[in-house]
Chains A and B, each alone.
Chain A
Amino acid sequence: MAVRILLVDDHPIVRQGLRTLLQGRGDWEVVGEASDGVEAVEKVDSLQPDVVVLDVTMPRMNGLEACRLIQQKHKNAGPEVLFVTQHDSPQMMREALDAGARGYVVKSNAARDLLEAVESVSQHRVFTALARSPQASC
């Protein structure tokens, strides 16, 4: 299934790493990149991705705020949000899901979990995996 993806992280090198991983799936397309929450919200409007891969800690507007705004603006017609973050914490994961995210992956395990997570959330299934948890739960 073709999936259009927007990458959001304030570190270009992390976006490059995410891109490299996602290139493993030829039918997926990275349609754009954003470096903070404000830009992410704008690019969701203009690019209409299926999945937003979103960092939590960013300048100007963090990922949680951006996720809430995206959900508020697009209701059920918006993209699915997958957080990829350094916060390996159940509390942060709960906040992310409460903000409307469909998935949560810890950066240290992104190489292991990212493709499966994007696959799941693009099909509107929840995917969460903390680094400390023995395996991902779908």
Chain B
Amino acid sequence: MKLRILLADDHEIVRRGLCSLLQKREGWEVCGEASDGREAVEMAKKLKPDVIIVDIGMPSLNGLDTTRQLMQYDPQFKVIVLTITDSDQVIREALDAGARGFVLKSDAARDLVSAVEALQSRRMFFTPRVNDLVLAGFLDKGHVVARNEAPNLPTLTVREREITQLLAEGKSSKEVATLLNLSTKTVETHRSNIMRKLSLHSIRDLVVYAIKNNIIQIQMPAQIHRAPETTVA
């Protein structure tokens, strides 16, 4: 029987690369492709894939919340998170969300096949770099201490996180309501609860919170790396 894989990344070019990489393996098939987290959750419910590969920085529903929703629906889902960021906070959030694999996008061509194989064999997979970070966390502080040192953030429900992302992306309450099949009034209530829980006073504050907590990601301007011998006068 074939191993069925669902891919979720908002860039078709990345999905093409991932497909090309994974389908080289005999017995593996990409059974579906989603371009955002919401689509990924819906497709996973229908297709019941063996492994789900989720990009962290997707619009509408980010990869961490996608993973949370997937695990809430079926804790047997096996999720690999693909990320460009390997900060301690992102690693911890991915693990807390229920991801069993964590692969840096820059290393995907090298590590993704191994990650899928690991999950297929009911093991977890971290890239060597992430392994080092996790191990260093245990050795330096101990897991419990490290977790206690995490920012003491108020807990948002899955629905509230979802709405936080959509509002931070600039959608109105009405647009959010349409997207989530809720009434505008319900969204307004969630919005008030979110603002109260987080002690925020404006959408600007909400955007800053969403960026700081990896709910949305922003494009950084290109960094100028000038090698001395290549400086243009």
A interface residues (Cβ-Cβ under 8 A, vs B): 10-21, 37-38, 41, 56-57, 59-65, 68-69, 72, 84, 86-89, 92, 107-108, 110-111, 114
Q: Are B16 and A108 in contact, CB atoms less than 8 angstroms apart?
A: no
A16 to B109 Cα, complex, angstroms: 9
Q: Are B222 and A62 in contact (CB under 8 A)?
A: yes
Interface residues of B (CB under 8 A from A): 10-21, 105-106, 108-110, 112, 219-227, 230, 232
- How distant is A81 from chain B, measured CB to nearest CB, in Å? 15
A59 and B225 form a contact (CB under 8 A): yes
Give the complex CA separation of A68 and B227 in angstroms: 13
Q: Which of A38, A63, A110 contacts B230 (CB 8 A)?
A: A38
Least distance between B1 CB and chain A CB atoms (Å): 26
Q: A11-B106, A15-B17 are in contact. Are A107 and B11 (CB under 8 A)?
A: yes
What secondary structure prevails in chain A residues at the interface with B? helix
Kindly state the separation between the CA atoms of A32 and B56 in the bound complex, as whole angstroms: 30
Closest to B224 in A: A62
Interfacial chain B residues near A11, Cβ < 8 Å: 14, 105-106, 108
Would you call B17 and A16 a contact (CB within 8 A)? yes
Question: Provided the pairs A14-B17, A16-B20, A18-B13 are in contact, do residues A60 and B106 lie with their beta carbons within 8 angstroms?
Answer: no
Tell me whether A21 and B225 are in contact (CB under 8 A): no
Chain B residues with Cβ under 8 A from A37's Cβ?
225
Quick check: A65 and B225 within 8 Å, CB to CB?
Answer: yes
Which of chain B's residues have a CB closer than 8 A to the CB of A89? 219
A21 and B13 form a contact (CB under 8 A): yes
Write out the residue numbers on chain B whose beta carbons fall within 8 Å of the beta carbon of A72. 232
> Given the complex, which residues of A lie within 8 Å of B12, measured CB to CB?
17, 108, 110-111
Write out the residue numbers on chain A whose beta carbons fall within 8 Å of the beta carbon of B230.
Answer: 38, 41, 61, 65, 69
Question: In the complex, which residue of chain A has the Cβ closest to the Cβ of B231?
Answer: A65
In the bound complex, residues from chain A placing their C-beta under 8 Å from that of B219 are 86-89
Whether A17 and B106, one on each chain, are in contact in the complex, defined by CB atoms closer than 8 angstroms, is: no
22 A-B residue pairings within 8 Å (CB atoms): A10-B106, A11-B106, A11-B108, A12-B110, A13-B14, A13-B18, A13-B21, A14-B11, A14-B13, A15-B17, A17-B11, A17-B18, A18-B13, A64-B224, A65-B224, A68-B232, A89-B219, A108-B12, A110-B11, A111-B12, A111-B16, A114-B13
Q: Bound complex: CA of A56 vs CA of B108, how far in Å?
A: 20
- Nearest-neighbour CB distance to chain A for B26, whole angstroms, equals 18
Question: Which one of B19, B20, B110, B220 lies within 8 Å of A57 (CB-CB)?
Answer: B220
Pairwise interchain contact A56-B222, C-beta atoms closer than 8 A: yes
Given A65-B232, A68-B232, answer yes or no on A17-B14 (Cβ-Cβ < 8 Å): yes
Q: Are A57 and B222 in contact, CB atoms less than 8 angstroms apart?
A: yes
Complex-state Cα separation, A86 to B221, whole angstroms:
10
> Nearest Cβ distance between residue A82 and chain B, in whole angstroms?
13
